[in-house]
Chain A
């Protein structure tokens, strides 16, 4: 078995909510990410899905140590990086990059494209063969931008083009792992396909691994090899893409999948639609037992008291539910 490029063991990220000010009284703890295990193999794409506020973005950022993990382990290429200092992290950062959700916020409005992409080499102290300028132009061409626009500012580009700039910046140092934090959710559907295909092509070319954070299941279905479903900071179900989409076992996964629009209206009308009632509970005060019990339609007394463990139910299929759906 090949060694995973990234391995998370019980990763937790809790945010302490404080009153602020001089005394900084503790008010509560937000358990944004509450114990995630996952493995990403080289060249693999793992989709991380869940609704807004479930902690998927936080998980992505904690993997890159943009947030200091509270508990657990991050193992990158066999090396435990959980508690590496900023200085020791720096050379590793060339190997792991990020693509952001909002292409309007992720590019400094006062820097030209050339400066934005070139900064990667500057920060890491690397001079690419042929010089920074040439490399930047090559990267721009690779992601489908006109290299003549190297001196333009982000405001002169459309959303899709800006996201390409973000992609160029992320691949500039030829990383092994890219955390893509909802990279297409801010774009038009027509542009989404282009960017997703670009990410696909780049994966083949450079042998990249992606941790693909998203809430759009159709995009995840297109790009992922494995899918992890998160709810309130916890993993609900994890399986190979085909397994998960064909025979979801967790009620939450089933509900999510039933919300995906179907292009055929006749088929769509026939389909059973599960509508979840209520909102995501506050991660500051999660429900006892299974975190999903407040919205689950199969809820029993056991769910309110006992936390279901994430168990292997089939090869490459893990589930955290007391009353799983029958396999299809």
Chain B
């Protein structure tokens, strides 16, 4: 049955019968829709700006003459508090300095967000890749495997994953260090990513499973079967291109989620440890200073909120642009 979007298109075609017909691919149509969404464009710019400066952290700090490891005792007073209003914001330290040790806050944020982004991007891509693989195969082949995998994902979804991560992160880290794969924060990041992926694929796998499930009954899949196409070909050539938009949207929505999750675990003291800095570590430290130096709590919080919010809004705009059935905004 023709969808509403098709009807609209047909109507527009009839009305503009004399206008030159411009040829557009589905991607171009999505891009046109996305461009119209001002919030989406702005948040995309903001998000890419933060990602860019995170990965250019060494360059930016060098240009500004700052370092994330150097302390600046000259910016602190006798009580190890930043001199000046708003946490010691000055032309030298644009976001102020850290009370206590006296490191530059901008440098901490840049390097910290680099770790957070790395964890979030690897986790999102890995869990979506795993979810795609599991979802598409259970949705297409169904049967016993689908039933078994479905119950495993039910189990994992109902599992108190946070407690499991809290309990196991230390022994797991030691194990990885003993195996000589990575050390200290490197090992902790690997464990964190493994846990996030292990507990993170189910939602997306279910979404993809249900989509593959309904799509395999569509006539175009049957047309491919009538031509003698193999299951591999049907999955890769017929189903996958129709599932990419879902994956892209899910990626942009899960990215800020993992960014925040990484911060939470650092905040609780089980993630990345000092001297490295992440949002979670800085915020945990800032809690003890909030009465004397509120700027130290507010600035990193705003920094994190801006990133998460812009990524979320970008994800929403992307979903609207890629899904023709969603209400136009």
Q: Which A residues fall within an 8 A CB radius of B?
A: 21-22, 61, 64, 66, 86, 89-91, 93-94, 96-98, 100-102, 104-111, 119-120, 123-124, 151-153, 155-156, 158-159, 166, 169, 173, 186
Residue pair B223, A106 in contact (C-beta under 8 Å)? yes
User: A61 — which chain B residues lie within 8 A by C-beta?
Assistant: 222
Q: Is B26 an interface residue (CB 8 A)?
A: yes
Residue pair B220, A105 in contact (C-beta under 8 Å)? yes
Residue pair B2, A90 in contact (C-beta under 8 Å)? no
Residue pair B226, A66 in contact (C-beta under 8 Å)? yes
The residue in chain A whose Cβ has the minimal distance to the Cβ of B147 is: A22
User: A21 — which chain B residues lie within 8 A by C-beta?
Assistant: 147
**Which residues of chain B from 10 to 39 have a CB within 8 Å of any chain A CB?**
10, 13, 21, 23-26
Bound form: Cα–Cα A21–B150 in Å: 9
The residue in chain A whose Cβ has the minimal distance to the Cβ of B10 is: A158
User: A152 — which chain B residues lie within 8 A by C-beta?
Assistant: 23
Given contacts A119-B237, A123-B227, whether A107 and B220 have CB atoms under 8 Å apart is yes
Residue pair A100, B147 in contact (C-beta under 8 Å)? no
A-B contact pairs, 12 of them (CB 8 A): A22-B144, A22-B148, A93-B226, A100-B222, A104-B2, A107-B223, A108-B238, A111-B241, A119-B224, A156-B23, A158-B13, A186-B1
Bound form: Cα–Cα A105–B219 in Å: 5
Looking at B23, B148, B222, B241, which has the most chain A CB atoms within 10 Å of its CB? B222
Q: Which B residues fall within an 8 A CB radius of A?
A: 1-3, 5-6, 9-10, 13, 21, 23-26, 144, 147-148, 151, 218-220, 222-229, 233, 237-238, 241-242
Residue pair A66, B23 in contact (C-beta under 8 Å)? no
- A61 CB to closest chain B CB, in angstroms? 7
Bound form: Cα–Cα A108–B228 in Å: 16
Chief secondary structure at chain B's binding surface: helix
Residue pair A100, B223 in contact (C-beta under 8 Å)? yes
A-B contact count (CB 8 A): 84
Q: Add 19 more A-B contacts to A105-B218, A156-B23, A156-B24 (CB < 8 A).
A: A22-B144, A66-B225, A91-B228, A97-B226, A98-B223, A100-B222, A104-B1, A106-B219, A107-B223, A109-B26, A109-B242, A119-B224, A123-B224, A123-B233, A153-B25, A158-B10, A159-B2, A169-B223, A173-B227
* A-B pairs, 4 with minimum CB distance: A106-B219, A90-B228, A93-B228, A110-B241
- A90 CB to closest chain B CB, in angstroms? 4
Bound form: Cα–Cα A289–B225 in Å: 37
Bound form: Cα–Cα A94–B21 in Å: 35
User: B24 — which chain A residues lie within 8 A by C-beta?
Assistant: 156
User: B227 — which chain A residues lie within 8 A by C-beta?
Assistant: 93, 97, 119-120, 123-124, 173
- B155 CB to closest chain A CB, in angstroms? 13
The residue in chain B whose Cβ has the minimal distance to the Cβ of A61 is: B222
- A178 CB to closest chain B CB, in angstroms? 10
User: B2 — which chain A residues lie within 8 A by C-beta?
Assistant: 104, 159
- A65 CB to closest chain B CB, in angstroms? 9
Cβ-neighbour of B242 out of A89, A97, A104, A110 (below 8 A): A110
